[in-house]
């Protein structure tokens, strides 16, 4: 009996620590996971723990979810990783292996959230208080960041930064979806309207890739409030008017005079080098991924041009395409299909399109479609310096699925898609609806244009709450 009490106390302690770990990540994001403990950052320690738990999970026999196929597919993903590691002569003693494969180990947050958050709730722990993380995070990101917090993170973390738009979007979806499941009343609806009205202008200012999924989430979740809206229509109109007023105020503040710390300190204006974009991103990508179009004899010294990039403080050499004329050109909306390659008039979209196509064409050229590049080195499409960001540290392809495809090949990509299928099926068998898609879809869409799922901060929030949502009793209204 005594041993059981000690065991329960230990579980509660671990659960509370985990909850506050997730909460602090929600509030401070990358800055928090960058805190150093001796020579290791917190994010690196978390990945190491997830790796150990994943190895234990391979041989864990107790039932976790109703869908045993979900667990089985997860184990296949782990087995595929280890087989890939052996085939490509990878090493678990190389820290880069864990960095490049972090998207695999972070799946363990699904089980931690499912068990630990559910345990806290059964023990009457006020887990619901996490909903205040969204307004606090918004204040920290756009209004006021206390000096003592800045000093703390400057001293103990590797970076001081504000939450990205994708981070705020995640908090927005997590809190509002939780309230939909738990309450579906005036408070939850008011929270949805107020948070949308205040946050949307800021999201649109920070990232187009986050505002569109946010709008999609609002539309989807409003559908599940339809009974409440028709039942309490006057209150709906009242909140709608307040929402419009707050949205207008937030828009003026954001776009009319955005003179707060997050802009002046952490963001600077950047005028893109259009010549660099056109000459390198498009033509140089073709040289690397479609080498059959050019032979070495065709690339003369006169064709080489040097481009200086003061934004990155370096220069590089590219091939001047000259008067080359594309064939088989088709244009639609902001896209152009030329000689089997897709381009876009929108710079950010085109930047990503070229990276993704580089990955696809090069994997095909190297006969690595099934197995991917593995985990030993940077993805080749990200080796050009100007693709590595301001500090040269970025090596992400800005797409969750493309990253999985690049690292583990088509085999691992299919396993991940099947894994998500069984996640949705797990919910459906328990609740006889597809409401969970309201939470999954916006986050999934954001990850297709962002590096979010290759980090630690994003998956620990996303998968922890996804696992928790799969465990709680759904309120039916």
Kindly report, residue by residue over 48-94, the tens digit of the pLDDT: 999 999 999 988 777 666 667 899 999 999 999 999 999 988 889 99
Torsion of CA 438, 440, 445, 450, to 10 degrees: 140
Q: In the predicted model, what is the mean pLDDT of residues 174-180?
A: 96
This prediction has a pTM of 0.85
Q: What is the pLDDT of residue 334?
A: 79
Q: What is the pLDDT of residue 251?
A: 86
* Candidate from 52-56, 112-116, 259-263, 305-309 with smallest mean pLDDT: 259-263
CA separation for the pair 183, 180 (Å, rounded): 6
Q: Which two tokens stand for residue 388?
A: 């590595």
pLDDT for 247-269, tens place per residue? 998 888 877 654 443 333 333 33
Q: Answer yes or no: are the C-beta atoms of 372 and 363 closer than 8 Å.
A: yes
CA separation for the pair 88, 407 (Å, rounded): 11
Q: pLDDT over 70 for what percent of the chain?
A: 80
Q: Answer yes or no: are the C-beta atoms of 172 and 163 closer than 8 Å.
A: no
Name the nearest CA neighbour of 326 among 293, 280, 363, 365.
Answer: 293
As beta bridge partners, residue 40 has 37
pLDDT band with cut points at 50, 70 and 90 for residue 476: low
Give the mean pLDDT of the chain.
Answer: 83
Using CA atoms, how far residue 174 sits from 104, 177, 267, 279, in Å, is: 22, 5, 27, 42
Q: What is the pLDDT of residue 9?
A: 83
Q: Which has the higher per-residue pLDDT, 2 or 403?
A: 403
Element (H, E) at 343: strand 341-344
Q: What is the pLDDT of residue 212?
A: 92
pLDDT for 329-352, tens place per residue? 788 887 888 877 888 887 788 888
Q: What is the pLDDT of residue 5?
A: 63
By DSSP bridging, strand 314-319 and strand 329-332 are: unpaired
Sign of dihedral through CA atoms 16, 458, 105, 78?
Answer: positive
By DSSP bridging, strand 40-41 and strand 304-309 are: unpaired
Q: Which two tokens stand for residue 103?
A: 């998207």
Q: In the predicted model, what is the mean pLDDT of residues 134-141?
A: 93
Q: What is the pLDDT of residue 130?
A: 93
Quote the radius of gyration of the chain (alpha carbons, Å).
24
Q: Which has the higher per-residue pLDDT, 26 or 475?
A: 26
Sign of dihedral through CA atoms 179, 220, 353, 316?
Answer: negative
pLDDT for 215-259, tens place per residue? 999 999 999 999 999 999 999 999 999 999 999 988 888 776 544
Q: In the predicted model, what is the mean pLDDT of residues 291-310?
A: 45
pLDDT band with cut points at 50, 70 and 90 for residue 375: very high
Q: What is the pLDDT of residue 324?
A: 56
């Amino acid at each position: 009996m005594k041993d059981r009490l000690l065991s329960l106390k230990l579980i509660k302690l671990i659960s509370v620590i985990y909850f506050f770990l997730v909460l602090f990540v929600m509030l401070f994001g990358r800055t928090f996971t960058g805190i150093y403990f001796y020579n290791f950052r917190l994010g690196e320690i978390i990945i190491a723990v997830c790796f150990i738990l994943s190895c234990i999970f391979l041989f864990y026999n107790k039932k976790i979810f109703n869908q045993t196929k979900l667990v089985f597919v997860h184990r296949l993903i782990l087995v595929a990783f280890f087989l890939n590691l052996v085939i490509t002569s990878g090493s678990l003693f190389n820290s880069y292996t864990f960095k490049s494969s972090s998207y695999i180990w972070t799946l363990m947050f699904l089980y931690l959230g499912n068990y630990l958050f559910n345990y806290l709730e059964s023990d009457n722990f006020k887990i619901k208080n996490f909903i205040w993380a969204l307004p606090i995070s918004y204040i920290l990101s756009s209004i006021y960041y206390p000096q003592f917090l800045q000093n703390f993170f400057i001293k103990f973390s590797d970076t001081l930064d504000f939450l990205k738009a994708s981070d705020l979007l995640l908090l927005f979806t997590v809190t509002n979806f939780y309230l939909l499941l738990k309450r579906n009343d005036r408070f939850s609806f008011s929270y949805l309207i107020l948070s949308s009205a205040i946050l949307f202008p800021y999201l649109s200012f920070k990232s187009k890739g986050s505002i569109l999924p946010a709008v999609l989430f609002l539309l989807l979740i409003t559908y599940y409030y339809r009974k409440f809206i028709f039942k309490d229509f006057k209150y709906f109109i009242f909140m709608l008017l307040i929402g419009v007023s707050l949205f207008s105020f937030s828009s003026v503040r954001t776009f009319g005079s955005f003179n707060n710390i997050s802009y002046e300190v952490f963001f600077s204006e950047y005028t893109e080098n259009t010549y660099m974009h056109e000459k390198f991103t498009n033509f140089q990508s073709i040289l690397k991924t479609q080498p059959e179009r050019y032979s070495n004899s065709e690339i003369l010294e006169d064709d080489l041009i040097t481009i200086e990039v003061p934004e990155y403080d370096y220069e590089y050499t590219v091939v001047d395409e000259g008067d080359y004329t594309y064939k088989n050109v088709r244009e639609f909306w902001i896209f152009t299909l030329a000689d089997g390659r897709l381009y876009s008039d929108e710079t950010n979209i085109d930047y990503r399109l070229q990276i993704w196509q580089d990955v696809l064409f090069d994997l095909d050229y190297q006969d690595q479609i099934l197995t991917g590049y593995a985990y030993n080195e940077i993805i080749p499409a990200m080796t050009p310096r100007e693709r590595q960001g301001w500090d040269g540290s970025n090596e992400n392809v800005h797409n969750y699925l493309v990253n999985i495809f690049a690292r583990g090949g088509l085999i691992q990509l299919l396993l991940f898609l099947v894994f998500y299928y069984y996640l949705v099926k797990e919910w459906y068998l328990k609740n006889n609806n597809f409401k969970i898609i309201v939470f999954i879809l916006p986050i999934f869409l954001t990850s297709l244009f962002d590096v979010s799922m290759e980090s630690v901060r994003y998956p620990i929030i996303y998968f922890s709450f996804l696992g928790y949502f799969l465990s709680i009793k759904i309120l039916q209204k």
